[in-house]
C-alpha cells in the first residue's frame, strides 16, 4: 500500500463510507467503463497491467476545488476501510496504517474478463456491462485497517498481525479468522459469523453480476488459494465437497483459529494454560489473565487447524465446542465477556 500517511498513526484514521464518497463513485464509474470492452483481457493482462488500478477507487480523494486527486494515497484507503483491527487489543502499536485486502486481485480480474467477453458476444448494452463490472469490483473492494510494520523501508502489516493473516487466501474468513476485528464505523467486535456473512454477501453480489453478464446460471467458485486463472470448478469436485458437508447439519463448526480469536476476546492467553503439567491427551484448562476461575477446560491447541476440542467449564451444562454452531459458540463467548466485565471471572 501507499507510503504517504500524513503523519497519522493507524488509529487516527476516522471512518468514511466509501460508497458515499464522490471521488470513489466517479473513479469507479470511469474504471468500470474502461474495462467494459473486448480489450479487457489485454488491459488486465501483464502487458498493459491495469490490474494494479482495481484498488484506485478507494485510493482517490478530492481537493478543495472538488477535483479528484491523490491516487495511491494511504489515508484515503485507511479512512475507507470497512473493518479494523481491534483497538482494545492493538492500541499499544502506534505505527502508521496498513490496508489489507480480503479479496485478491487475480480472481477479480478473472471474473471481469469472463463476464465482459461473454456479455460482448451476447450483445449486452455497454451501460449494462459497465454497471455489472462496477458491481463486481465494488463487492470485492472492502478492506481492513491494521497497524503497519514500523520499518520505514517495509510496506506490510505489523509483525504482531502479519503471521496471523491467511496468506494467498481469498475471503474474510480465510484471511482474518485469527485476528480480533471490529467494525471501523461502530467499533462493534466482529464474530466469525460476521466474517462469513461478509464473504457470503460478496459472493451473492458477484454471482448476480456474472449471471447478468453471461445471461445464464453461474456458480461462484469454491474457496481456494488465490489467483486461479480458470475459475470454473469441475463438477465432480463440487459434488465431493457436498458429500463431505452433508452429514454435518450444524456446520460451520468452531475451528481452532476461531477458538484462539475467542480466547483473546475473553482475556485468555492460548499459550498459558492454568494447568501446565496436565496430560496433553486430556487437554488444558484456561483462566483469563489475572483471573481465578477456570473458564475453558479440555482444550487442545495443536496449531494444525481443524475443529476445536474443549468445553465451557464456567457455563451451565459445560457445553462442548464440537456440539455448537459458530453462532452458539459466539453467544457463549459473549456471555463470558459480560461476566468478566461484571467481575465474575
Average pLDDT across each block of 10 residues of the chain; the chain has 345 residues. List them in order. 67 92 92 95 88 89 81 80 95 93 95 97 95 97 95 83 91 94 95 94 96 95 51 36 39 74 86 82 84 87 68 85 83 86 78
How many Å apart are CA 10 and CA 32, to the nearest integer? 30
pLDDT of residue 224: 45
Determine the Cα–Cα distance for residues 216 and 213; give it in Å rounded to an integer. 8
DSSP reduced 3-state for 255: strand
Q: Sort strands 83-85 and 181-183 into parallel, antiparallel or unpaired.
A: antiparallel
What residues form DSSP beta bridges with 189? 182
Cα-Cα-Cα-Cα torsion 208, 39, 52, 75, nearest 10 degrees, comes to -70
What is the per-residue pLDDT for 307? 61
Nearest to 271 by CA among 308, 298, 301: 301
CB-CB contact of 336 with 295 (8 Å): yes
pLDDT at 155: 84
Which of 110, 127, 3 is CA-nearest to residue 54? 110
Nearest to 25 by CA among 35, 33, 15, 37: 33
The pLDDT value given to residue 5 = 65
Distance of alpha carbon 101 from alpha carbon 230, whole angstroms: 21
Distance in angstroms (rounded) separating the CA atoms of residues 277 and 220: 48
Strands 144-147 and 97-100: antiparallel
CB 18 within 8 Å of CB 60: no
Name the grid cell of 91.
492500541
Bridge partners of 325, per DSSP, are 253
Rounded alpha-carbon distances, angstroms, from residue 183 to 109, 189, 198, 252, 313: 27, 6, 12, 22, 30
Q: Where are the beta strands (DSSP E) in 9-63?
A: 61-62
143 with 102: CB under 8 angstroms? Answer: yes
Amino acid at each position: 500500500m501507499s507510503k504517504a500517511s500524513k503523519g497519522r498513526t493507524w488509529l487516527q484514521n476516522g471512518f468514511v463510507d466509501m460508497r458515499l464518497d464522490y471521488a470513489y463513485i466517479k473513479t469507479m464509474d470511469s474504471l468500470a467503463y474502461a474495462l467494459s470492452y473486448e480489450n479487457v483481457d489485454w488491459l488486465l493482462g501483464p502487458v498493459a497491467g491495469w490490474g494494479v488500478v482495481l484498488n484506485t477507487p478507494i485510493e482517490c480523494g478530492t481537493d478543495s476545488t472538488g477535483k479528484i486527486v491523490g491516487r495511491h494515497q494511504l489515508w484515503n484507503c485507511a479512512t475507507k476501510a470497512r473493518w479494523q483491527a481491534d483497538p482494545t487489543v492493538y492500541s499499544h502499536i502506534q505505527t502508521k496504517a496498513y490496508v489489507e485486502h480480503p479479496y485478491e486481485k487475480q480472481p477479480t480480474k478473472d471474473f471481469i474478463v469472463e463476464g465482459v467477453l461473454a456479455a460482448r458476444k451476447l450483445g449486452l448494452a455497454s451501460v449494462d456491462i459497465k454497471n455489472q463490472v462496477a458491481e463486481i469490483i465494488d463487492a470485492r473492494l472492502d478492506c481492513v485497517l491494521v497497524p503497519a510494520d514500523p520499518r520505514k523501508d517495509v510496506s506490510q502489516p505489523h509483525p504482531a498481525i502479519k503471521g496471523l493473516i491467511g496468506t494467498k487466501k481469498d475471503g474474510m474468513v480465510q484471511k482474518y479468522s485469527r485476528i480480533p476485528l471490529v467494525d471501523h464505523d461502530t467499533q462493534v467486535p466482529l464474530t466469525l459469523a460476521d466474517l462469513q456473512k461478509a464473504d457470503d454477501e460478496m459472493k451473492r453480489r458477484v454471482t448476480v453480476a456474472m449471471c447478468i453478464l453471461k445471461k445464464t446460471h453461474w456458480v461462484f467458485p469454491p474457496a481456494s488459494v488465490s489467483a486461479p486463472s480458470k475459475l470454473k470448478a469441475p463438477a465432480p469436485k463440487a459434488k465431493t465437497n457436498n458429500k463431505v458437508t452433508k452429514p454435518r447439519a450444524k456446520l460451520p463448526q468452531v475451528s481452532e483459529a476461531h477458538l484462539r480469536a475467542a480466547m483473546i476476546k475473553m482475556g485468555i492467553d492460548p499459550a498459558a494454560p492454568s494447568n501446565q503439567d496436565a496430560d496433553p491427551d486430556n487437554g488444558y484448562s484456561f483462566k483469563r489473565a489475572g483471573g481465578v476461575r477456570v473458564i475453558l477446560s479440555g482444550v487442545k491447541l495443536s496449531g494444525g487447524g481443524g475443529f476445536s476440542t474443549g468445553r465451557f467449564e464456567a457455563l451451565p451444562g459445560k457445553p462442548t465446542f464440537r456440539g455448537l454452531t459458530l453462532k452458539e459458540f459466539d453467544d457463549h463467548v459473549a456471555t463470558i465477556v459480560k461476566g468478566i466485565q461484571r467481575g465474575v471471572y
